[in-house]
């Protein structure tokens, strides 16, 4: 008999949390709404480094960037600096495979450091000479046995993949919207899993459990590469309806640009929601739903004009907060869903805990297993600032000696950001996320700033994290 639940882990790139919130973005997501209604949707899931590779590396390894090797987005330039998921980094997939799971990965990976051959056999060089796409050798797939993946390719209508034991030069090229094709592959995987579980007749009565990760690139740009029959109704909405957050200046150049992109972005979000519906329907039809933990999340959000910005990799809510929906087996605490802060490094150990494998969490994982907290809701309001599920660290690593080096800490009610630059020294921002959810007013009261600086200093020390601004932060804390 199967002793552990199955896992369906779904990631949509650049899918911001506001798309799924009541009163949030004006976008229709009926299948994700139903998934959240049947399970739980975390209000404070945070991308600790809201850009693709760093979050994905933390999500897979449960380690902070300095430990897992991914301090920047992975491409040929940063690979020359040594950036890339380390071969010896732990992963939740490896733990599950060792526990007897049938593991699979479909879609975008973006954790492998490109080598020169990838410029030939992958997507190729961009105008600036960098190349991002990369083949992942068999011994660098971190616990996934079934493989239908690529590194980084923003060609939604002409995607390509490396499958199984294929060599670097043996990629598969596909015509059609990438998310729909990857869902087709996932449905085949689920069909085989159901057959294996029941000896060929469907259902989930026995055999090895499965753990399938599906990683879609949309709604990431290019925004105009949409599937046939996509929802065109968003084009009929006004800029004020599309961009309803008060931190968007609709009369600015960035606001106007965001208003042009928003109908396409929301159309992609709705199209992604339809693919979620296909997966959930398959779980039901195959008799797998009852014993499958389903998680839907993202690697980061998108500014979409908020604070005069369009994309991500900044410490604002539109970039940092991500969806994190869980459904069955078992119940989740509504209190925990509303109050628990889940950071990037917490995902891997928490996932293992939810699959009843807390005892198998690798010691190298630096995140916290919040499974019991999510199940019971215990201590979600009384835990200390450095306790389980109460805060998430924020990271931005400098690209050169003159770039800013940023650390921060976000709780369910406040956010403190500290920026250090060699020439400019230390500057800070403090926000009250309850009174000021759109981060329009920075708190400057010295006592409050020092208190939160101390909280960040303590959290960095507890996590064993080094930072170039540590001495300046300490000096701020110790000011009379």
Question: 80-93 pLDDT, tens per residue?
Answer: 999 999 999 999 99
DSSP structure class, residue 366? -
How many CA atoms does the CB half-sphere of 96 hold within 13 Å? Answer: 35
* 388 confidence band (pLDDT: 50, 70, 90): confident
Answer whether residue 99 shows pLDDT above 50: yes
148 upstream amide cis, omega within 30 of 0: no
| HSE value, Cβ hemisphere, 13 Å, CA-based, for 197 | 25
Measured distance CA(382)–CA(301) in Å, rounded: 29
- 3-state DSSP call for residue 116? coil
What pLDDT shows up at residue 264? Answer: 98
pLDDT tens-digit map of 191-209:
999 987 665 444 444 589 9
Instruction: Find the helix or strand (DSSP H, E) in which 408 lies.
Output: strand 405-411
**Is pLDDT at 346 greater than 50 in this prediction?**
yes
Residue 17 makes CB contacts below 8 A (sequence gap 6+) with 24, 45, 298, 301, 317, 321, 322, 323
Average pLDDT over residues 158-169: 97
313 backbone φψ class: left, alpha, beta (φ>0; ψ -120 to 50)? left
Q: What is the mean pLDDT of the chain?
A: 95
pLDDT in tens, 16-42: 999 999 999 999 999 999 999 999 999
Per-residue pLDDT tens over the stretch 242-296: 999 999 999 999 999 999 999 999 999 999 999 999 999 999 999 999 999 999 9
CA atoms of 160 and 150, how far apart (whole Å)? 7
φ, ψ (nearest 5 deg) of residue 387: -85, 180
Condensed to tens digits (0 to 9), the pLDDT of residues 109-120 reads: 999 999 999 999
Name the nearest CA neighbour of 370 among 415, 379, 12, 329: 379
How far apart CA 471 and CA 474 sit, in angstroms, is 5
pLDDT of residue 3: 78
Burial class (CB in 10 A: 0-12, 13-18, 19+), 462: exposed
From CA 472, how far away is CA 84, in angstroms rounded? 30
Looking at residue 480, what is its pLDDT?
Answer: 63
Do residues 210 and 355 make contact, with C-beta atoms less than 8 angstroms apart? no
| Distance (Å, whole) CA 310 – CA 256 | 11
Helix, strand, coil share (%) of the chain residues, nearest 5: 35, 15, 50
- What mean pLDDT do residues 213-229 have? 98
Question: What are 38-74's pLDDT values in tens digits?
Answer: 999 999 999 999 999 999 999 999 999 999 999 999 9
Rounded Cα–Cα distance for residues 268 and 223 (Å): 8
Res 382: pLDDT: 36
- Residue-wise pLDDT tens digits, 408-425: 999 999 999 999 999 999
Q: What are phi and psi of 337, to 5 degrees?
A: -60, -35
Taking a C-beta distance cutoff of 8 angstroms, is the pair 420, 404 a contact? yes
* Alpha carbons 130 and 150: distance in angstroms, whole number: 17
Check the CA dihedral 14-17-23-29 and report its sign: positive
More confident residue, 318 or 197: 318
All domains in the chain, ordered by first residue? 6-376 (3.40.720.10), 398-477 (3.30.1120.10)
The pLDDT score that the predictor gives to residue 1 is 56
CB 283 within 8 A of CB 190: yes
- Do residues 423 and 402 touch, judged by C-beta distance below 8 A? yes
179 contacts 216 by C-beta, under 8 angstroms: yes
- On the question of pLDDT at 182 being above 80, the answer is yes
Backbone angles phi, psi at 405, to 5 degrees: -120, 120
459 pLDDT above the threshold of 50: yes
The number of C-alpha atoms within 13 Å of 434 and in the hemisphere containing its C-beta is 5
């Amino acid at each position: 008999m199967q002793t552990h639940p199955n896992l369906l882990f779904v990631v949509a790139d650049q899918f911001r949390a506001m798309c799924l919130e009541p009163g949030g973005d004006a976008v229709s997501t009926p299948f994700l709404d139903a998934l959240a209604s049947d399970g739980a949707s975390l209000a404070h899931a945070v991308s600790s480094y809201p850009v693709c590779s760093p979050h994905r590396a933390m999500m897979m390894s449960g380690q902070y960037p300095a430990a897992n090797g991914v301090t920047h987005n992975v491409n040929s330039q940063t690979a020359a600096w040594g950036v890339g998921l380390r071969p010896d980094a732990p992963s939740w997939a490896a733990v599950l495979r060792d526990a007897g799971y049938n593991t699979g990965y479909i879609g975008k990976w973006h954790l492998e450091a490109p080598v020169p051959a990838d410029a030939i056999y992958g997507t190729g060089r961009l105008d600036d000479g960098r190349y991002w796409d990369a083949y992942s050798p068999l011994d660098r797939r971190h616990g996934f046995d079934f493989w239908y993946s690529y590194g980084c390719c923003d060609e939604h209508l002409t995607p390509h993949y490396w499958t199984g034991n294929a060599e670097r030069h043996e990629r598969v090229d596909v015509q059609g919207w990438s998310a729909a094709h990857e869902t087709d592959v996932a449905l085949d995987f689920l069909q085989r899993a159901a057959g294996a579980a029941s000896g060929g007749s469907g259902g989930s009565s026995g055999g090895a459990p499965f753990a399938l990760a599906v990683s879609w690139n949309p709604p990431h740009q290019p925004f105009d590469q949409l599937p046939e029959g996509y929802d065109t109704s968003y084009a009929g909405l006004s800029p004020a309806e599309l961009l309803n957050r008060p931190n968007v200046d609709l009369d600015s150049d960035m606001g106007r640009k965001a208003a042009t992109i928003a109908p396409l972005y929301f159309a992609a979000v709705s199209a992604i929601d339809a693919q979620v519906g296909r997966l959930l329907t398959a779980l039901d039809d195959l008799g797998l739903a009852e014993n499958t933990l389903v998680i839907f999340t993202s690697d980061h959000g998108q500014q979409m004009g908020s604070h005069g910005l369009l994309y991500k990799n900044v410490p604002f809510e539109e970039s940092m907060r991500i969806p994190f929906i869980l459904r069955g087996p078992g119940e989740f605490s509504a209190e925990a869903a509303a109050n628990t802060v889940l950071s990037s490094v917490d995902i891997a150990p928490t996932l293992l805990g939810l699959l009843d494998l807390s005892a198998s969490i690798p010691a190298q994982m630096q995140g916290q297993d919040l499974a019991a907290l999510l199940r019971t809701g215990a201590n979600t309001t009384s835990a200390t600032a450095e306790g389980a599920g109460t805060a998430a660290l924020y990271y931005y690593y400098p690209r050169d000696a003159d770039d800013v080096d940023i650390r921060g800490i976000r709780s369910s009610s406040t956010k403190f950001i500290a920026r250090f630059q060699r020439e400019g020294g230390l500057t800070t921002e403090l926000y009250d996320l309850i009174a000021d959810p759109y981060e329009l007013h920075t708190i400057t009261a010295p006592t409050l700033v020092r208190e939160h600086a101390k909280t960040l200093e303590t959290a960095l020390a507890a996590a064993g994290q080094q930072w170039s601004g540590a001495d300046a932060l300490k000096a701020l804390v110790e000011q009379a």
